[in-house]
């Protein structure tokens, strides 16, 4: 699994797209046709992934939106980012 730290710049994989649907969102991986549903947190996280912001900047933005301890958010978002890289939703930052 990729090591994701606060300075890691994140971007969506080339074949991944996020679509807001009803009360949530889905991620489509065009290459495989896989479809993933997102909870509110993942949708907010992916909405801030732009290929320019690093994880620390994204966490700072999310901390303004969610009532959660910053240290907890740091850990949770690093884990989420690593999972999304493993699922090929986010591009591998080491590649």
Distance CA 85, CA 11 (A): 10
List pLDDT tens digits, range 81-92. Answer: 999 999 999 997
Residue 1 lies in a domain: no
Residue 92 lies in a domain: no
**Domain CATH number, residue 55:** 1.10.10.1150
Range of the domain at 50: 16-86
Using DSSP's 3-state secondary structure scheme, residue 75 falls into: helix
- Neighbour order of strands in the sheet with 16-21: 16-21, 24-29, 34-38
* Residues ≥6 apart with Cβ < 8 Å to 46: 12, 18, 25, 27, 38, 84, 89
Tokens coding 13 = 């994989």
List pLDDT tens digits, range 7-61. Answer: 999 999 999 999 998 888 999 999 999 999 999 999 999 999 999 999 999 999 9
pTM of this structure: 0.90
């Amino acid at each position: 699994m990729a090591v994701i730290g606060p300075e890691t710049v994140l971007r969506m994989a080339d074949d991944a797209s996020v679509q807001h649907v009803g009360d949530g969102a889905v991620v489509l991986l065009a290459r495989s046709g896989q479809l993933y549903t997102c909870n509110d947190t993942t949708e907010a996280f992916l909405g801030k992934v732009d290929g320019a912001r690093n994880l620390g900047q994204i966490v700072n933005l999310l901390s303004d939106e969610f009532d959660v301890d910053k240290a907890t958010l740091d850990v949770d978002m690093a884990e989420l980012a690593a999972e999304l890289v493993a699922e090929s939703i986010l591009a591998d930052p080491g590649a």
